[in-house]
């Protein structure tokens, strides 16, 4: 990764610099693009959760959409029920999602490849139905998570034309940068080394004194924390959570994003996030060009995405980047 | 009421068995869980729908849909899986590459269907009534179409059973999945046999899609949940076992039917997930799976 040669302090400075530049840039960007920027940031966190899980710990999840739903519901519930401020609500969502991730991770550590994929897939299908069972989760209508207008100090800082979308962009960008900074440090710590060791050769890692099973559970927990954070932010961008807001296709999309970006490297999450937002946008433009057929507009993004996914798996297992995968 | 629920359970269980059978056939031949199975099944069903729409005859469309499913299964193996297994063995996504690639194939097939037929719900009608049988004044939910589902599934399962047990082809299929290298040395063309396994799986999925769809509607995603049920059923029975697939499917179908009747429809898949977890954690090789650990 590019930050490999950086010391922790200069890495922190780099992230800070990126943040300041992005926030300053948001003044000159249109509403739609700002919202898309916020989406990219959220997808980045979600994709980073898969990269961490698959690339570093060797596990797979087709159910991270469900973990995102836990995060989103946790945040929205604490926001509407107990009137938590939204910052605390986001953290609460992460807390609930992490607990869920630990429970799932304990089971996941004992499963491999297709079994884990199928099990998490069943979770992604099954979990959203809980919302219908409990009145407190709002049923089909879901829960409100409208954080309202930006507070005064932000407006003073951002200028008088500071809109809600820009506020969303600020929140998502700052949260994403903090999260990625934390994860980069974690991956460079003994945790990250142990995960990679366990992934590359479980027996050898075990002989070297690494508790591989526990490492898998921790990796799943950290990955779930990230996914639930992404879910909480996702809910914030939507302004609400519903059972249908976290469909199976979301789980597939973030896995696709991670594979396209290359699961071997955390920096790829940026590529993945941009790709997930850009493909529907580009397909939309292309559809207009092709004469606005309903069939084309509904299916072109999926077609492009799936074709890319297959091509990448077959020909570029390191993702859409030139850098070689290193063990 | 109990008998009604049981009958409906057997009918949906038969479908789960077929889907599970398709997954098991592919798993035995290639050691891959084919996540594109529901996509292949739904494409075959669309082909059946198209033929039925032109000929106005369900009974012509059904065998052609099954044939299409078999051809499709064979093509997926030839054009896609061989390339994949030849290339993506190591590297960062190593052992999960087949999962990702078959998911990609699923998306590709579904968006392809959407481009051709659109995403609206279509009706693939069968001449059999979807209304339940009536005994005197009592109408049960089990319909002639349900009866046909059970008969068709039983017929497919019986045919596969006979092929596997009593024919040379079945022996070759079993040998190729048990010990590919030794089978090769014994003169079995493992690649060709493997391809036949994929074709059988595609046909089984096509039967499932073409007989269940008349009871509801057809859309690119309409068989996705069937895949999940089929997977759960296959794991309950043991991914290696054809008998297990059938038993797992029936157990799951009847179980879901009772949950639907007495608890409520929305929790069925959550219960399915819990069953899956319990089976995988307590008896990971399933009820009928062979003794080799499947975790490694």
pLDDT in tens, B161-183: 899 889 988 888 888 887 888 88
Which A residues, 276 through 295, put their C-beta within 8 Å of a C-beta on chain B? 294-295
Q: How confident is the model at residue B76 (pLDDT cuts 50, 70, 90)?
A: very high
Q: Is the pLDDT of residue B113 over 50?
A: yes
State mean pLDDT over B270-290.
79
When pLDDT is averaged across residues B40-58 and rounded to a whole number, the result is 93
CA distance A210 to B278: 28
**CATH code of the domain covering residue B40:** 1.10.3470.10
Closest residue of chain B to A312, computed from CA coordinates: B101
- Between B186 and A158, whose confidence is greater? B186
Count of domains in chain B? 1
Of all residues in chain A, the one with the smallest CA distance to B104 is: A306
Q: Which residue has the higher pLDDT, B108 or A192?
A: B108
Q: Which of residues 69-108 of A touch B (CB under 8 A)?
A: 107
Over residues B227-254, the pLDDT tens digits come to: 999 999 998 888 888 888 999 999 999 9
Only one residue has tokens 């980073």, namely A48
Query: Is there a domain that residue A46 lies in?
Result: yes
A vs B: CB pairs below 8 A = 164
As a whole number of angstroms, the distance between CA A51 and CA A46 comes to 9
Residue A297 lies in a domain: no
Of A172-181, A271-280, B18-27, B133-142, the one with minimum mean pLDDT is: B133-142
The domain containing residue B216 runs over which residues? 2-88+98-127+140-282
Closest Cβ–Cβ partner in A252, A305, A313 for B101: A313
Q: Is the pLDDT of residue B11 over 60?
A: yes
Give domain status of residue B63, yes or no. Answer: yes
B265 has pLDDT over 80: no
pLDDT-derived band at A3 (thresholds 50, 70, 90) equals very low
Judge whether A96 and A74 are in contact, CB under 8 Å: yes
- Decide if pLDDT at A8 tops 80: no
Q: Give the pLDDT confidence of B83-103 residue by residue, as tens digits.
A: 887 775 555 566 788 888 899
> Is A196 domain-assigned?
yes
Looking at residue A113, which CATH number applies to its domain? 1.10.3470
Q: Residue A144 and residue A238: Cα distance in Å, rounded?
A: 9
Question: Which residue among B88, B100, B266 places its CB closest to the CB of A133?
Answer: B266
3-state secondary structure of A128: helix
Q: Is B294 inside a domain boundary?
A: no
CB of B260 within 8 Å of a chain A CB? The answer is no
B259 Cβ under 8 Å from any chain A Cβ: no
Q: What domain range includes position A35?
A: 2-247
What per-residue confidence (pLDDT) applies to B93? Answer: 64
CB contact under 8 A, A54 and B273: no
> Mean pLDDT, chain B, as a whole number?
86
Q: Is the pLDDT of residue B294 over 60?
A: no
> Is position A7 within any domain?
yes
Does A327 map to a domain? no
What's the ipTM?
Answer: 0.85
Q: Does residue A19 belong to any structural domain of this protein?
A: yes
Pair of tokens at residue B33: 């869980």
Does residue B291 fall inside a structural domain? no
Total domains in chain A come to 1
**B19 close contact with A: CB closer than 8 A:** no
**pLDDT given for residue B296 in this prediction:** 31
d(CA A261, CA A281): 18
- Exposure string over A92-104, b if 16+ CB within 10 A, otherwise e: bbbbbbbbbbeeb
Whether residue B289 lies inside any domain: the answer is: no
**Which chain A residue is nearest to residue B112, measuring alpha carbons?**
A303
Residue A276 lies in a domain: no
Using the beta-carbon criterion (under 8 Å), do B267 and A252 form an inter-chain contact? no
Residue B290 lies in a domain: no
pLDDT band at A2; cut points 50, 70, 90: very low
* C-beta atoms of A114 and B32 within 8 A: yes
CB-based contacts of A130: which residues, under 8 Å, 6+ apart? Answer: A137, B267, B270
Beta strands in chain A (DSSP E): 143-144, 240-241
What's the whole-model pTM score?
Answer: 0.87
Contact B271 A126 (CB under 8 A): yes
């Amino acid at each position: 990764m590019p930050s490999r040669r950086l010391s922790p302090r200069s890495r922190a400075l780099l992230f800070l610099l990126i943040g300041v530049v992005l926030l300053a840039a948001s003044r000159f960007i249109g509403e739609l693009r700002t919202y898309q920027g916020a989406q990219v940031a959220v997808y980045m966190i979600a994709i980073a959760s898969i990269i961490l899980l698959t690339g570093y710990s060797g596990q797979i999840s087709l159910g991270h959409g469900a973990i995102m739903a836990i995060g989103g519901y946790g945040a929205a519930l604490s926001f509407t029920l107990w009137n938590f401020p939204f910052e605390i609500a986001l953290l609460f969502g992460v807390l609930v999602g992490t607990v869920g991730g630990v429970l799932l991770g304990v089971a996941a550590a004992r499963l491999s490849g297709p079994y884990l994929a199928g099990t998490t897939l069943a979770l992604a299908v099954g979990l959203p139905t809980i919302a219908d069972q409990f009145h407190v989760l709002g049923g089909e209508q879901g829960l409100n998570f409208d954080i309202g207008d930006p507070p005064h100090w932000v407006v003073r800082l951002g200028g008088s034309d500071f809109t809600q979308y820009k506020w969303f962009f600020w929140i998502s960008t700052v949260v994403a940068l903090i999260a990625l900074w934390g994860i980069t440090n974690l991956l460079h710590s003994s945790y990250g080394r142990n995960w990679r060791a366990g992934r590359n050769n479980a027996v050898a890692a075990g002989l070297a004194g690494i508790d591989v099973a526990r490492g898998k559970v921790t990796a799943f927990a950290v990955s779930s924390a990230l996914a639930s954070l992404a879910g909480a932010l996702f809910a914030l961008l939507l302004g609400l959570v519903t059972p249908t807001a976290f469909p199976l296709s979301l789980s597939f999309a973030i896995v696709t994003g991670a594979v396209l970006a290359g699961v071997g490297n955390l920096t790829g999450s940026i590529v993945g996030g941009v790709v997930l937002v850009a493909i529907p946008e580009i397909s939309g433009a292309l559809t207009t060009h092709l004469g606005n057929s309903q069939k084309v507009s509904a299916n072109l993004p999926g077609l492009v995405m799936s074709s890319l996914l297959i091509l990448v798996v077959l020909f570029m297992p390191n993702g859409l980047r030139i850098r070689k995968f290193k063990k | 009421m109990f008998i009604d629920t049981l009958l409906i359970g057997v009918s949906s269980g038969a479908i789960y068995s077929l889907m599970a059978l398709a997954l098991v056939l592919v798993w035995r031949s290639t050691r891959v869980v084919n996540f594109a199975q529901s996509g292949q099944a739904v494409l075959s069903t669309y082909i059946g729908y198209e033929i039925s729409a032109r000929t106005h005859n369900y009974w012509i469309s059904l065998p052609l849909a099954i044939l299409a499913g078999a051809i499709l299964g064979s093509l997926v193996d030839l054009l896609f899986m061989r390339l994949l297994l030849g290339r993506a063995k190591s590297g960062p996504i190593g052992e999960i590459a087949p999962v990702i690639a078959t998911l990609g194939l699923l998306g590709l097939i579904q968006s392809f269907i959407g481009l051709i037929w659109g995403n609206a719900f279509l009706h693939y009608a069968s001449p059999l009534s979807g209304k339940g049988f009536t005994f005197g004044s009592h109408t049960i939910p089990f319909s002639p179409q349900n009866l046909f589902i059970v008969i068709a599934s039983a017929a497919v399962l019986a045919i596969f059973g006979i092929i596997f047990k009593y024919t040379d082809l079945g022996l070759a299929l079993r040998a190729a999945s048990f010990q590919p290298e030794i089978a090769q040395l014994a003169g079995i063309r493992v690649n060709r046999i493997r391809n036949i396994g994929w074709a059988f799986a595609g046909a089984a999925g096509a039967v499932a899609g073409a007989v269940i769809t008349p009871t509801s509607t057809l859309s690119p995603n309409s068989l996705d949940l069937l895949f999940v049920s089929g997977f759960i059923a296959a794991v309950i029975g043991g991914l290696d076992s054809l008998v297990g697939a059938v038993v797992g499917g029936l157990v799951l179908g009847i179980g879901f039917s009772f949950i639907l009747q007495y608890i409520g429809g929305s929790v069925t898949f959550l219960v399915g997930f819990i069953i899956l977890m319990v089976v995988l954690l307590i008896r990971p090789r399933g009820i009928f799976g062979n003794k080799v650990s499947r975790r490694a």
